[in-house]
Chains A and B, each alone.
Chain A
Amino acid sequence: MLWQLLPQAVLDGLLIGGVYITVALGFSLAFGVKHIIDFAVGEWIMLGAFLGYYLQGWTGLDPLLLLPVVFAVFTAVGYAIQPVIHRAVSGRRGNPVLMGLVFTFGLMLAIRGAGLTVFGFFSHSIPSVMSARSWFLEAGGLFVTVPAIRLVGFVYAIGITAVLHWVLRHTDFGLAVRALAQNRDAAGLMGINARRISSWVYGIHVGVSAMTGVVIGSIFSISAQMGGDYTILAFFVVVLAGMGYLAGVPWAAFLLGLVQSLFLVYGNPSYTLLAVFAILYLILLVSPRGLFAKGV
C-alpha cells in the first residue's frame, strides 16, 4: 500500500512546487535586479486574486482567461510605484537593502489594512471550470489522480519561468536587465536607462505575482489576510534557491513541495513544517548561498 502511494505523493509534491514557483519568481527577479526584499509580494498576490474574483463576477469569464488583464493592470501599478521605492532606497540614505525592506514592509501593512476595509473579512473562492476536473490514471497496480486546476497551475508556473528565461537571455531588454543586475554604474555608462528598466522589472514582478493570485484563488480560497503566508513562502523558496538566482527558483520550489508531500504521506503530518525548516536550515548550513551556491 505504501509503495502504491508514492507516484501520487511525488506528483502532488511537484504540483505544490508549481504554485511555489510562481509565488517566488517575481520576488527573486526584483531582488536580483533591484536588491529589494519585497515584503509586499503576498499583498500583490492578494490584490491580483481579488481583481480576478471581481472581474470573474462581472464578466462571467473563466478566471484563467482573465490572467492577461490582471497582468496588464498590475504591471502598470508596479511600474508606477517603482520610482517611489527607488527614492526610498537611494540618495543619501544608508543601507538601501534595509530601507527597501522597511519600505515594502510598510507597503504590505497599508495594502493589507486597506484590503480588509475594502474587501471585508470573509473568504472567497474564484471558480474555474478546471477546478471541477481531474484525471485518474492507473497502470501496473500504480495509480494517480491528476487535478486539472493544479496541472494548470503547474503549466502556468513552467510557462512563466520559460518566458522570463527567454526574455532575459534572448532580448535586448533582458540583456539590459542582466547588465543592471551585475553592475548598475557600468550599465548606466553603456547607455542603459536604469530607472526605466528597474520600473519595468518591478512592474513585471508585480504583474506576475498578481496573476499568480488568480491561479491561487482557483486552487485555494482567498481573503484579505492571505498575503502574509505567501510572502513567507516566497522568502523561503528564494533563500533556498539563492537570493537573486532566478534559475534556482523552480528547483527550490519543487524540493519544498516534495518534502511536504512525502512527509505528509509517509511521516507524521504534525511535523511537516518542522521537516521543511530542518531541511532548509541544513542546506543553508552547508551552502549559505542556496542550493546551487549562486545566491548573493
Chain B
Amino acid sequence: MRRVVAFTLCAVLGTSPAWAQADRNYFKVGVITSLSGDLATGGNVTKRGYDLWAKAVNEAGGIEVNGKRYPVKLYYADAQSEPSQGASGAERLATQQEVDFVLGPYSSGVTLAVAPVLEKYKIPMITGSAESPLIWRQKFAYTFGTIPPVNYTGSQPVGALAGLAPKPRTAIVLGSNDAFSKATAEAFKTAAEAHGIKVLKFNIVPSGQDLIPLLSAAKVLRPDVIAFGGHDEELINLVKALRQINYTPKALLMHYGVTEPAFVEALGKDAEEVFGASVWTPTLPTRGDLLWADARAYAEAAQKEYGVPADYTQAGCSAAGIAFQAAAARAGVTPPLDEGEKRALRDALEALDIETFYGRIDFADRGEFYHANTGLEALTVQIQGRRPVITAPAEFAEAPARYPTTPWNDRR
C-alpha cells in the first residue's frame, strides 16, 4: 500500500521513487529544444538528430559500459524558442526527471539560459546546435558543443571568397538581432576587414524585419558581397527581397540555413550559387567508430528515416549523442548517475578525442573556445545543382566556386 501511495505521489510530482532510480538500467537523457515558436524549424531539426542517435544506439542494444549495454530513453522539454522556457525545462529535467545528461538546445540564446541551470545541478550537457562564441567565453564546466563557434567557422568562407578572381573589394554585412546571428555578422565583418574587403555597411536588424528598404539602399552602393547572419526563414526572405529588387551581388554569403533542405525547396533556382559556412556535408570524407561508418552512411540513414537530406545541425546533434556514448564508456559510469559519476562523465568529455561520422570530436579544455569542438575543419559550401557542394578548403573541395554568381534573370 505504501508503495502504491508513493508511486501515486511521485506520478503527481513527476519524479521517480528512490528505489526505482536505484534499479534503473537505462540512461535518462534530457533533450531541451525548441519544438514550437519562431525557432521551431531548427529545433525540430535538432530533435531529428537526437532521435536518430537514440534509435540507432538502442537498436545496437544501448550504450556499452564495461561490456554491458544500457539503452537510452529521451525526456523532452520544449523551450518554445524562449530562453526562459528553456531554463524552466532544464530545471524540470534536473529536479523531476532526474536525467543523467542533457542534449542541448537549438539556438545560442536558449543555450545561454539553460547552461547556468545545468551548471547548478552539475549535469553534463552537449549542445548539437549552438554556435555563438559567447557560450564558450562563459567557461561553463558542464556545457559542451559539437559545432564550433561562428568566429571559428565564419572566417573560412570570407577567406575563400577573398581568394577568388576578380577579388571582391566591397561588402555589406547584415545580421539579425539574436546571439548566433549577431556573432555570425561580426565574424563576417572581422574576416572581411582582415582580407582587405571594405565593409561599406554593417547593421544588426530586428529579427524578422522586412529588409527591402535596407537592401534597396545597399543596392545603390553596389557591394561585391552581401553577407548575412540569420536563421532559416530570414535567409529565404533575404534572397526573395534581393530577387524582388533584382540585385545580384558577386557573392551572397550566409551561414546556417543554406544547408537546410527547406532553403533549396523554398527558393528553387534562386537558391543556386548562394555561399554558406558548414562543418559537415553528406559527402565529407570521415570515418566513424560508433554507429555510422562515415558521413555517407549517416546521410543514408537520415534520408531513410525522414525523407529529406540531413544538414550539419542534424548531424551535429547525432554526434553529440555519440560523444556522450564514448565518454560514458570511457568513464565507466552506469545509470543512474550520481553527482560523482556525472563529474566523471564531464571529465571524460573534456578528455575525449574521437573520430565519428561527423568528423573529429575534440572539446577544447582551455582558451576562448573552452568546451567547443575544435576538431573540425570549417568548410565553404555553395548551392550547386540544388545541393550544398564544398568549394573550399582545397583538400575537401568537390567543385570550384561559381563566381561571380549568375544574375537572377539569367538562371534556368
Residues of B in contact, count (CB < 8 Å): 42
Q: Looking at the assembled complex, report how far the CB atom of B170 sits from the nearest CB atom of chain A, in whole angstroms.
A: 15
Of the stretches B97-105, B129-137, B237-245, B290-298, the one at the interface is B237-245
Q: Can you pick out 8 interface pairs between chain A and chain B where the beta carbons lie within 8 Å of each other?
A: A16-B210, A145-B219, A147-B244, A264-B213, A264-B214, A265-B217, A269-B205, A269-B206
Q: Flag if B237 contacts A270 (CB, 8 Å).
A: no
Q: For the complex, is A122 an interface residue (Cβ under 8 Å from B)?
A: yes
Query: A247 CB to closest chain B CB, in angstroms?
Result: 25
Asked whether A224 is an interface residue with its Cβ less than 8 Å from the other chain, the reply is yes
Interface status of B15 (Cβ within 8 A of chain A): no
CB of A22 to closest CB in B, whole Å: 14
Stretch at the interface among B35-43, B276-284, B356-364: B35-43
* A270–B203 CB distance below 8 A: yes
A94 to B33, alpha carbons, bound, how many Å?
40
Closest to A136 in B: B246
Stretch at the interface among B113-121, B264-272, B331-339: B264-272
- For window 279-321 of B, CB contacts with A under 8 Å fall at none
Q: What 0/1 pattern do residues 1 to 23 of A give for CB contact below 8 A with B?
A: 10011001100110110000000
What residues of chain A have their CB less than 8 Å away from a CB belonging to chain B? 1, 4-5, 8-9, 12-13, 15-16, 112-113, 116, 121-125, 127, 131-132, 134, 136, 145, 147-150, 219-221, 223-226, 228-229, 260-262, 264-265, 268-270, 272-273
Known: A124-B265, A148-B244, A223-B40. 8 other contacts (CB 8 A): A15-B212, A122-B262, A124-B266, A125-B266, A219-B244, A223-B233, A226-B233, A272-B206
- Nearest CB of B to A61, in Å: 17
Whether B44 is near chain A, meaning CB under 8 Å from some CB there, is yes
Residues 72 to 89 of chain B near chain A (Cβ within 8 Å): none
197-237 of chain B: CB within 8 A of chain A: 203-206, 208-214, 216-217, 219-220, 232-233, 236-237
| A221 lies within 8 A of B214 (CB) | no
Is the Cβ of A265 less than 8 Å from the Cβ of B245? no
Report whether A132 and B204 are in contact in the complex, using a CB–CB cutoff of 8 Å.
Answer: no
Closest 9 CB pairs of A and B: A147-B244, A122-B262, A125-B266, A261-B213, A12-B213, A221-B236, A121-B44, A264-B213, A269-B203
Instruction: Identify the interface centre among B212, B219, B233, B268: most chain A CB within 10 Å of its CB.
Output: B212
Instruction: Give the shortest distance, in Å, between B163 (CB) and chain A (any CB).
Output: 30
| Given the contacts A116-B36, A219-B240, A123 and B210 also touching, CB distance less than 8 Å | no
CA distance A145 to B237 in the complex (A): 18
Q: Which of B203, B210, B261 contacts A122 (CB 8 A)?
A: B261
**In the assembly, what is the distance between CA of A247 and CA of B175, in Å?**
37
Chain A residues within an 8 Å CB radius of B37: 225
- B396 on interface, CB distance cutoff 8 Å: no
B177 at the interface (CB under 8 A from A): yes
In the complex, residue of chain B having the shortest beta-carbon distance to the beta carbon of A9? B213
For residue A13, which residue of chain B has the nearest CB?
A: B213
Complex CA gap A93/B255 in Å reads 53
Q: Which residues of A contact B266 (CB under 8 A)?
A: 122-125, 221
Residues on the A chain within 8 Å of B206, using CB: 269-270, 272-273
Contacts of A125 in B (CB 8 A): 236, 240, 266-267
A4 contacts which chain B residues (CB < 8 A)? 220
Known contacts: A131-B240, A131-B244. The answer to whether A1 contacts B220 by CB under 8 A is yes
